[in-house]
Amino acid sequence: MLMKKGRLKVETDYLTLANLLLQANRIVVQPITAAIAGLSVQLPDNINQDPADRLIAATAIATGSVLVTADENLRRAAVLDTLW
C-alpha cells in the first residue's frame, strides 16, 4: 500500500522487493491453513473482531509464536503470548 500510495518509492516492483526482503532477513511466510482459519473464528470475543487481526492471532497460537504487537486488545488476550 505504501508503494501504491507513493509513500515508499523504490526502483523495482512489489514482488521483487518482497522477495528481496524475505531473503535478506530470513523471514518465513506462514500460509493460512484450514486449522488457522478455523481457530480464528473460535477465538474469544475479547480478541479484535477484525478478521485480519484474528488470523494473525490464530497464526501466532498455531505456530507457538510470540506475537509482537502494540494492539491493546491482542496484548490483553490471555490466549496469546505477546511482546511489545
Range of the domain at 79: 34-83
Of residues 10 and 56, more confidently modeled? 56
State the pTM of this model. 0.74
Q: Are residues 75 and 39 in the same domain?
A: yes
Q: Are residues 39 and 78 in the same domain?
A: yes
* 61: phi then psi, degrees, rounded to nearest 5: -65, -50
Cα angle value 32/38/43 (rounded, 5°): 110
Q: Are residues 73 and 44 in the same domain?
A: yes
Query: pLDDT tens digits, residue range 20-77?
Result: 888 888 788 899 999 999 999 999 988 888 999 999 999 999 999 999 999 998 999 9
Q: Are residues 46 and 24 in the same domain?
A: no
Q: Are residues 78 and 50 in the same domain?
A: yes
Q: Are residues 38 and 71 in the same domain?
A: yes
The DSSP code for 33 is: -
State the total domains in the chain: 2
Per-residue cell: 21: 526482503
Q: Are residues 1 and 21 in the same domain?
A: yes
